[in-house]
């Protein structure tokens, strides 16, 4: 089946956070919303069919993920990443942020520290603080348009001058974002191995948020952190979900892979009674996506590749004042607007009121985010072109007067 990603739909009357909250968030109705990570494309037909079939069976009682769902998760992870996981390692949560909250609470005591690699997806800050922990920031390094991890800083955080983990260290975990939102890096095996050697070698746990792992541009491959070694598997929690890949975040269904039994039991203890399991439509959609969604996904990835190329060309040829950090994965563009010479408030006002595009402000992503904006390009290309044209016009008026 051929999907039409160019078709424009009106989502403004469908309880869409992205489209219905425009006035509240951006202060005016005429901005194009390109903020929250949600796509303006309908999901795959087999997922819709599975949901329709399930809705037609009018029993919406308590649900329990059946074996065939877990088989679908296990098979997908093996097929996509050659990672063999056991069915009992999989725990389900209604979304990834709840899983991160449970994970941090399971691993820490109030006052402990959790490392975040900023700039990073801003709800991570709430996860750490809401769990009563402190954020230990290890800022990513940006050089020649490419971000890398600061291994020197990470080592310094864990090791005393004698090379040991200081006895008083309160660092319990690092939340990894792979692919990394907002900068779009798909961390490679060497980087992940080095990270794991530092963090796990020092006795802390890696909580790896891999929600964007199926949204990769040509030439990139995802490595699940825990697939790298048995030691890493025993000391990590990997969060996956079909929500970003298949545009299902409103169904709230994530699969959390926790190979170590003690860690899994602890996670389930904290989760129990507070975080519910999957709802009937979430689990139906997850299984249909993993079993029958790949034809749609292949076409989506081709479309996103074309949109990325359109946007990259447009910025470099027509809006050179804004530099795009070329993403390796995700449909999010991290725009370096520092050459516009505006402070964060001016830049926010400029994007909303002059360009009339609704982007996420870089400063929300923490250290290193000031002067940047995040733009979601998962929309029909006519809307993308309209947004790029608006930014171009506003930059011309403001900078080239
Ligand atoms: C890195 C990352 N983690 C988690 C989420 C949200 O996950 P959920 O809606 O499943 O809680 C997002 C959404 O954009 C994200 O980018």
Q: 148 has which bridge partners?
A: 141
Q: Residue 64: which of 213, 224, 279, 228 has the closest Cα?
A: 279
Which H helix or E strand runs over 91?
strand 90-93
333-352 pLDDT, tens digit per residue, is 999 999 999 999 999 999 99
- Supply angle C-alpha 39, 44, 48, rounded to 5: 110
Any atom of ligand 1 within 6 Å of the Cβ of 179? no
Give CA–CA dist 293/291, Å, rounded: 6
| Ligand 1 atom closest to Cα of residue 99 | 11
How close is the Cα of 102 to the center of ligand 1, in Å? 15
**What pLDDT is attached to residue 399?**
83
Asked if 378 and 41 count as a contact pair (C-beta separation under 8 A), the reply is yes
Give CA–CA dist 299/293, Å, rounded: 10
248-272 pLDDT, tens digit per residue, is 999 999 999 999 999 999 999 999 9
Which residue has the CA at smallest separation from atom 14 of ligand 1? 37
Which residue has the CA at smallest separation from atom 10 of ligand 1? 95
Q: Estimate the crossing angle of helix 280-292 against helix 67-81, to 10 degrees.
A: 40
Q: Residue 377: which of 317, 322, 319, 309 has the closest Cα?
A: 309
| Ligand 1 atom closest to Cα of residue 249 | 9
Any atom of ligand 1 within 6 Å of the Cβ of 378? no
How close is the Cα of 302 to the center of ligand 1, in Å? 23
From 187, 246, 249, mutation site for ligand 1 pocket: most ligand atoms within 8 A of C-beta:
249
Any atom of ligand 1 within 6 Å of the Cβ of 254? yes
How close is the Cα of 73 to the center of ligand 1, in Å? 18
The ranges of the chain with pLDDT < 50 are none
| Ligand 1 atom closest to Cα of residue 243 | 10
Which residue has the CA at smallest separation from atom 13 of ligand 1? 37
How close is the Cα of 322 to the center of ligand 1, in Å? 26
Q: 147 has which bridge partners?
A: 142
How close is the Cα of 116 to the center of ligand 1, in Å? 15
**Residue that has been written with the tokens 């609470």 in this structure:** 105
**What pLDDT is attached to residue 79?**
98
Which DSSP letter does residue 329 get? B
**What pLDDT is attached to residue 93?**
98
- Verdict on whether the full-model pTM lies above 0.75: yes
| Ligand 1 atom closest to Cα of residue 121 | 1
* Residue 118 CB neighbour total at 10 angstroms: 18
């Amino acid at each position: 089946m051929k999907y039409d990603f160019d078709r424009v739909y009106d989502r403004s009357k469908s309880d869409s956070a992205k489209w219905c909250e425009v006035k509240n968030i951006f202060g005016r109705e005429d901005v194009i919303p390109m903020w929250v990570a949600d796509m303006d494309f309908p999901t795959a037909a087999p997922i819709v069919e599975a949901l329709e079939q399930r809705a037609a069976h009018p029993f919406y009682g308590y649900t329990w993920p059946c074996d065939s769902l877990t088989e679908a998760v296990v098979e997908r992870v093996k097929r996509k990443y050659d990672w063999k996981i056991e069915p009992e390692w999989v725990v389900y949560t209604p979304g990834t942020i709840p899983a991160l909250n449970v994970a941090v609470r399971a691993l820490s005591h109030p006052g402990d520290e959790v490392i975040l690699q900023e700039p990073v997806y801003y709800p991570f800050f709430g996860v750490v603080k809401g769990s009563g922990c402190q954020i230990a920031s290890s800022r990513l390094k940006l050089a020649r348009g490419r971000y890398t991890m600061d291994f020197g800083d990470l080592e310094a955080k864990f090791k005393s001058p004698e090379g040991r983990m200081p006895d008083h260290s309160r660092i319990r975990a690092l939340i990894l974002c792979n692919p990394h939102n907002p900068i779009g890096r798909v961390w490679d095996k060497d980087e992940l191995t080095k990270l794991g050697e530092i963090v796990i070698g020092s006795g802390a746990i890696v909580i790896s948020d891999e929600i964007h792992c199926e949204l990769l541009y040509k030439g990139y491959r995802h490595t699940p952190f825990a697939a790298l070694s048995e030691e890493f598997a025993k000391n990590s929690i990997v969060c996956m979900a079909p929500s970003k890949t298949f545009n299902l975040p409103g169904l709230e269904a994530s699969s959390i892979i926790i190979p170590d039994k003690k860690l899994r039991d602890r996670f389930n203890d904290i989760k129990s009674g507070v975080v519910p399991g999957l709802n009937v439509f979430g689990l139906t959609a997850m299984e249909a996506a993993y079993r029958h969604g790949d034809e749609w996904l292949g076409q989506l990835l081709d479309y996103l590749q074309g949109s990325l190329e359109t946007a990259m060309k447009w910025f470099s040829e027509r809006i050179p004042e804004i530099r795009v950090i070329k993403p390796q994965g995700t449909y999010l563009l991290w725009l370096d607007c520092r050459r516009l010479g505006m402070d964060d408030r001016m830049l926010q006002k400029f994007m909303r009121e002059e360009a009339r595009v609704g982007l996420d402000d870089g400063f929300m992503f923490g250290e290193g985010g000031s002067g940047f904006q995040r733009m979601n390009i998962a929309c029909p290309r006519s809307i993308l072109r309209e947004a790029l044209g608006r930014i171009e016009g506003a930059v011309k008026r403001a900078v080239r007067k």
